[in-house]
Amino acid sequence: MSSIGSAQSYDLSATAIDPDDPAYRPLLQDLQGDILKPNGRLYATHVVFEFTGTEPEVRAWLSSLADRYLTSAAKQLHDAAAYHTVKVDAGLFGTLGLTAAAYQWLKFDLPHIPRDRQARFIAGMADGSTQAALNDPPIHCWEPWSRRTIHAVLNLFDNNPSALDAAVALIRTGAAGKANILSVQPALRLRNAQGQTIEPFGFVDGVSQPLFLKSDAAKPPAGSYDPAAPLSLVLIPDPNGAGPYSHGSFMVYRKLLQDVSNFHQDVARLAADLNAPPELAAAYTVGRFTDGTPVVLSDQPTGENPPSNDFQFDVDPNAARCPFQAHIRKANPRGDTVRSNNAPLEVERSHRIVRRAFAFQTARPGGGTETGLQFFCYQSDIGNQFEFIQSAWSNMTHFLRMNTGLDGVMGQAAPKADCSRPGSPGGQHWPNAWGDEQKGTTTVDFGRWVSLRGGAYLFAPSLSFFQGLAGH
């Protein structure tokens, strides 16, 4: 790991920071990678741990694990620049998150456990209050590894899957006597014929993200959507770092199973009810066509690569082009709440999250394949960001207008004990003709094809936290 520079405090309200500015060097050297910018690798492996050794042994092991596998934001940006110049693959990339249970196990007192405003990190994803707030399925519906006490998740990325296998073999050996490996979750980037990253339903993924770096967040034209975000959206000071330059981020991990076959059958049913092309019906549910074209801008895919992200929903105030329940409109309303609820735009934008996801494809014991997303997101406040989006927007049936219904992709109604997903109460309203309000809508219940299989709330600490952990 790089050594940390001189003490420096930061204005986290800053946007479009210049990573070449020496003032940011200490922060970036001490910050884990993948938070301010995705790492770009093709394969991932997520290793889930439960601590078992003595406290000193586990502290020393975590410190060595971090020293060997974690990548700083500074190194990530340096390696990315080198790759673009000389095409040299920087190899293995790693991040590591700890749960609140891990901090408690390691004997950190309450003031030294990272805290968001509503203490959602401390509550954890398996807590009853979290389940009630998010309409998550009962714990017995989760995969067995996720019903245990999770202490840490190590995320490894590489362009060579055999390198990940070799790293996991070494980690198994090193973890003996210190931690049980509850699960090893392999993942990969799915690609379409144009080379775009897609999620298992087939839609281009990761199109719209908050941007933090000057090189990424060019000032858009007036009236356009601005993806720039302040550092405060994703970073908080690390209470256990080496100095004021030490920051971390809350990490939400959710393994999401996607029922691809039934999703597309549901799309075909919706298309028939609307007398619309299947690709348009699918775009209504997500808010984009499979190639990423926003349905608010076009009634057919345009093939633009990269897809347009320069749009606002004010061109479609009554949802005649993009339904209010479309996934991208629920997850990032782009000014809708300002028009409908008089909410300040800054408040709406403060709910955004930084999404990092890979797909998984695993064989079922009885044959066939399960697929879905290993979904991760970063934020500075779990309650105000991930949980708010899920509970107040995706799950809210009266989002922006009465009887909007659930987000057709990610919305969750109150769960059933048998693990089945109920539909949207009263259904959702879908345009009968794209862009023509006079043609009205048809009510169809669409959704429930994504289900939670496990996960955890974590914190990605500063690198100096791990450096000092053994001698804490």
Q: Do 191 and 278 belong to one domain?
A: no
List pLDDT tens digits, range 143-185.
999 999 999 999 999 999 999 999 999 999 999 999 999 999 9
- Residues 247 and 276 grouped into a single domain: no
In terms of domains, do 240 and 321 share one? Answer: no
- Identify whether residues 413 and 276 lie together within a single domain: yes
- Are 173 and 278 members of one domain? no
Q: How many CA atoms within 13 Å lie on the side-chain side of 107? A: 8
Question: Does 160 share its domain with 225?
Answer: yes
317/251 same-domain check:
no
* Residues paired with residue 363 on neighbouring β-strands, in sequence order: 369
Kindly state whether residue 61 falls inside one of the protein's structural domains: yes
> 233 and 274 share a domain?
no
Judge if the upstream peptide bond of residue 306 is cis by omega within 30 degrees of 0: yes
> How high is the pLDDT of residue 364?
83
The residue with tokens 């590591």 is: 96
The residue type found at 58 is V
pLDDT at 395: 97
Q: What pLDDT sits at residue 444?
A: 97
Whether 323 has a pLDDT exceeding 80, the answer reads yes
Residue 84: inside a domain, yes or no? yes
State whether 445 and 462 are in the same domain.
Answer: no
Q: Which domain holds residue 295?
A: 269-353+397-451
**Is the predicted pLDDT of residue 2 greater than 80, yes or no?**
no
End-to-end CA distance of the chain: 19
Q: Are residues 308 and 165 in the same domain?
A: no
| Domain count within the chain | 2
Question: Are 318 and 440 in a shared domain?
Answer: yes
359: in domain: no
**Using an 8 Å Cβ cutoff, are 324 and 330 in contact?**
yes
- Model confidence band, residue 3 (pLDDT cutoffs 50, 70, 90): very low
Residue 73 lies in a domain: yes
C-alpha closest to that of 20 among 87, 73, 93 = 73
- The set of residues, in sequence order, having a beta carbon less than 8 Å from that of 265 and lying 6+ positions away, is none
Taking only the tens place, the pLDDT of each residue in 230-260 is 999 999 999 999 999 999 999 999 999 999 9
Q: What's the pLDDT at 133?
A: 96
79-93, 145-159, 196-210, 325-339 — which is least confidently predicted? Answer: 79-93
Structure tokens at 60: 């020393």
Q: Number of helices and strands (H, E) in the chain?
A: 14, 13
Residue 8 pLDDT:
56
Same domain for 342 and 324? Answer: yes
363 closest CA partner among 354, 353, 371, 352: 371
Does any domain span residue 360? Answer: no
